[in-house]
């Protein structure tokens, strides 16, 4: 998964919009949006630019944490996990890593999602018991 970056838009009236953004497969995804009010009315000479943020993410460096993409819950989510798992198997890739990449979850959480997909019947049992 590509790194997330901090983006700040500053408007002429002093209003600011901060967001986290990532570019993946030619698409821009925004997360963690926040906005600040415009500067109070008054002469332009009285306005000062805000002090630089101490947040290292504001420097354009990759964010320390990554926003997790939304993932459907319930039956639909388990079906999508199974599809990602089977597609990775068919391509000879690590299926759990594919689920991790698709869902944005940790390895442990992805394994739980795979187990839930098995329990729901979307994937075959892990071991054949005699």
**In a domain? residue 129:** no
**In a domain? residue 18:** yes
- 67-104 pLDDT, tens digit per residue, is 556 778 889 989 999 999 999 999 999 999 999 988 88
Number of domains in the chain: 2
Residue 55, classed as helix, strand or coil, is: coil
What does the pLDDT read at residue 7?
Answer: 82
**In a domain? residue 102:** yes
Q: Which residues form the domain of 88?
A: 74-119
**In a domain? residue 68:** no
**In a domain? residue 109:** yes
Q: Are 84 and 71 in contact (CB under 8 A)?
A: no
Q: Spell out the residues 6+ positions from residue 111 whose beta carbon is closer than 8 angstroms to its own.
A: 96
**In a domain? residue 6:** yes
**In a domain? residue 48:** no
What pTM was computed for the model? Answer: 0.47
């Amino acid at each position: 998964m590509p790194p997330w970056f901090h983006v700040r838009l500053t408007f002429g009236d002093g209003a600011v919009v901060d967001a986290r953004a990532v570019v993946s497969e030619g698409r821009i995804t925004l997360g963690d949006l926040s906005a600040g009010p415009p500067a109070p009315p008054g002469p332009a000479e009285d306005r000062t630019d805000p002090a630089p943020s101490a947040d290292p993410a504001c420097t354009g460096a990759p964010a320390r944490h990554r926003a997790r993409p939304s993932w459907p819950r319930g039956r639909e989510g388990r079906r999508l996990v199974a599809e990602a798992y089977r597609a990775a198997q068919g391509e000879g890739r690590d299926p759990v890593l594919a689920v991790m990449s698709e869902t944005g979850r940790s390895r442990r959480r992805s394994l739980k999602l795979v187990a839930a997909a098995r329990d729901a019947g979307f994937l075959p049992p892990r071991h054949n018991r005699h």
